[in-house]
Every structure is written in structure tokens, then in C-alpha cells.
Amino acid sequence: MPLFADYCSIRASFFQVMASSMYHAPCGVRSMKGLDCRNYVGLKPSTNLNFSCVRTTIKERPRRILVVRASETQNDSLRKTGMSIEECEAAVVAGKGPEAPPVPPKAAAPAGTPVVPSLPLGRRPRRNRKSPALRAAFQETDLKPGNFVYPLFIHEGEEDTPIGAMPGCYRLGWRHGLVEEVSKARDVGVNSVVLFPKVPDALKSPTGVEAYNDNGLVPRAIRLLKDKYPDLVIYTDVALDPYSSDGHDGVIMNDETVHQLCKQAVSQARAGADVVSPSDMMDGRVGAIRTALDAEGFQHVSIMSYTAKYASAFYGPFREALDSNPRFGDKKTYQMNPANYREAQVEANEDESEGADILLVKPGLPYLDIVRLLRDSSPLPIAAYQVSGEYSMIKAGAVLKMIDEGKGHDGVANVSSTGWC
């Protein structure tokens, strides 16, 4: 089930160096049959060997007695000496400082590896990849649970029902399953959700009037979640397709659809939505929604515009989940042509000038070039939607053993069970 994230790169800017100290007391041994303790400070023999060292005096003050017990375990650290900072410094100045463990040996090359002189390279990028800690320190893009928005499908029933085309996903009962799923998401750090309703057929109409019913499924769910989790960030979908008996995002005519969308956005804001997300792709709807929200006192409610939403077969499982397939024609007169790259910049310019707070690209994975285009040209946060078809494709590939979903080296499997990226 899908997630979105801001694609701004986060670069590591500091290092943290951790050091551990071991204190070994330089001393003279009273007697040990040929063994001079001064030459074996920090010695860890393989046999259990006990001996006592008595410190000589510095500045005519008696030294503390240190008992050193050698161990068969090479990594056991010796006990602290109890020496003061001044005493430790004096010992180092006298050339009797404690010894540290030896430098770890280099990994041996496999047998048969040819011996060749090192290449005269001034820069070796692999140096920054040599360990998990270094790779994490220099990771350019960092996605955290707080970056994601969790899409949740809801319905009027009491029980959660599985979505056949999306393994592991369910239509959640809004009074029980929804609340439980949000609780689980918050436990792992995901505190933003977006709601998609499966509306009863009897409430659908050609003009989608149920979309702005203040006691409809989505407004009720918003109020319930805000009552349970006041700090939860709730996104909503602004479009008519779940409510339309025709299955289209609007009433086909552009301006008449925008009129309906404004009423839907205000209804969602009145219920407590934090971000309204017009996904319809009508011209001028962002500016109209901004004006409508402000007129009703909802200046604090953000707009995440589906800026570049391309016509795509990847939406199939989603439409099954909401039972919102078009009853006639297709959506190519309002969703974008996949062959058009520059048109995304036109849409972004319009949405930005009309007051959008976030720009979204949909689908995500096939249109990473559009994500990059908008990131380079706009100061606004850029979101990408990993849609239902992408999710189902990953799941199907895993079932067929074509990909290993669990490894997630490239991040794909890491988000496949949650959806948006």
C-alpha cells in the first residue's frame, strides 16, 4: 500500500569518532622466573596466568596496586587502574603509557590472486563504500518513516476484506480496521495517511454529489482518526471517481468538475484533513480549491497537487480496490500522455502559481525523469506515488522467484509492502 517521500538529498556533514581507552599500569614485577613485566605490559597469554605488579612512586606518593588477570579471551579489556588523570599523564610522559590492542590484520586475498602494483589513483570512490557504517554516513538520499504517507482503503463494513489484485492489502472497516492499521503504522514511525473510499453503488451519481457529504465515509473516518490521534497527518484524495456512477474523475466538463471538487475539498477540510490532494488533473483546480479553502477559513490546510499524473495501466489494481473503473471511454483527455516530458513543466508552473504546497508525480518508478525535472526546477517538495500496479508487480515477481523481495539492496523491496515511494 503506497507511500510518498520528498526526494531532496540529505548529505552527511559530520563524522562521529568513537574511541575506547584501556589502562595498563607499567610496573616492575617482584619475581616471575625470567619474565620482565616492563617488557610485557598488556600481555595476554593463552594460559591463565596471575601476577601482581606494584607501582613505583612518582612525586614520593605511593602508587595503587593493580591486579592484572590475563585471559584466554583476546577481547577482554583490563580493569581500570584507578589512577588519576595526572598520574596517567605522568606515566605517558615517562614513556610507560598503556598499550592498545594490535591493529586488526588485513583480509587475506584469495589463493591465486595475482600480485600487481597498485594503480596510481588519486581518488578511489570505493573507499567510501568499504563498510556498512561508511555507506550509511555518505548516503545521499535518506528515506525515513516520517517521509512516507500510508494509503489506506476504507469501506463501510465491519470486517476487513482482502483486495485480490494487491496481495497483503485490504479494504479496512472504517470504525475498527482503519484505527488498528493506523496504530501499527505509528508504531513504526509512519504518522501520515491518505484515505481512499470504496463507496456503495447506491450512493454514486453522474455528478458525484456524495463526494461533499459532510457525513460521508471519508469525513467520518477523518473525524474518528483525529479524535483518536490528534497529531496524525491526514491527506485526502480530491476527485470524483469513487463517487461517480461513470467511474471518471469528474463530470467530463472541466470547469463544472472544478466546482464540485472545491465543495469536496472544503468538506474534507471541515472534517479535519491536513492536506487535500486533487488527483483529477482538471485545469485550474488548484487555484480554485485554494480560493475556496481560504474563503471558508481553512488557510492552514495544504494542497498536494497531482501535478504530473500520466495515463497508465498501472492503476488497474487501485480501481479494483475502489470499484472505480470507467464505465465508458478512458481518462486520456485529462491524464497526461506518457510520451510528453516537457508538458510536466507546464503543469508544475501552473500548480505552483495557483498555490500548490506539494507537487506529486504519478506513477513514480516509470517517471523518475519527471521527478528529477521537477526537483531541479521547483523549490516545492516533490512527491512520487508508487502506485498499485507497481506494488502488485513487485509482489508477483517475488511469488514467481524472479526477484528477491527481502533483500532490498536498491530500496525497491523495502517499500513494496507499503506502497508509495
The candidate with the shortest Cα–Cα distance to 370, out of 334, 332, 417, 336, is: 336
In this structure, the strands spanning 192-197 and 302-309 are unpaired
> What phi, psi does 217 have (nearest 5°)?
-60, -50
3-state secondary structure of 400: coil
**Active-site pick, 309, 332, 395, 401:** 309
Dihedral sign from CA coordinates of 365, 363, 161, 228: positive
Q: Which residue has the cell 535518506?
A: 142
DSSP for 314-355 reads: GGHHHHHHHT---SSS-STTTSBPTT-STHHHHHHHHHHHHT
> What phi, psi does 375 have (nearest 5°)?
-65, -40
Contact 293, 270 (CB under 8 A): no
Tally of residues, the chain: 421
- d(Cα 393, Cα 416) in Å, to the nearest integer? 9
- d(Cα 321, Cα 196) in Å, to the nearest integer? 9
3-state secondary structure of 119: coil
10 Å Cβ neighbour count for 250?
26
**Active-site pick, 198, 204, 331, 362:** 362
Q: Is the peptide bond before 114 cis (omega within 30 degrees of 0)?
A: no
331 counts as catalytic: no
362 counts as catalytic: yes
3-state secondary structure of 194: strand
Contact 141, 7 (CB under 8 A): yes
Cell numbers found for residue 407: 533483500
State the first-to-last Cα distance of the chain, in angstroms, to the nearest integer: 10
**Residues taking part in catalysis:** 309, 362
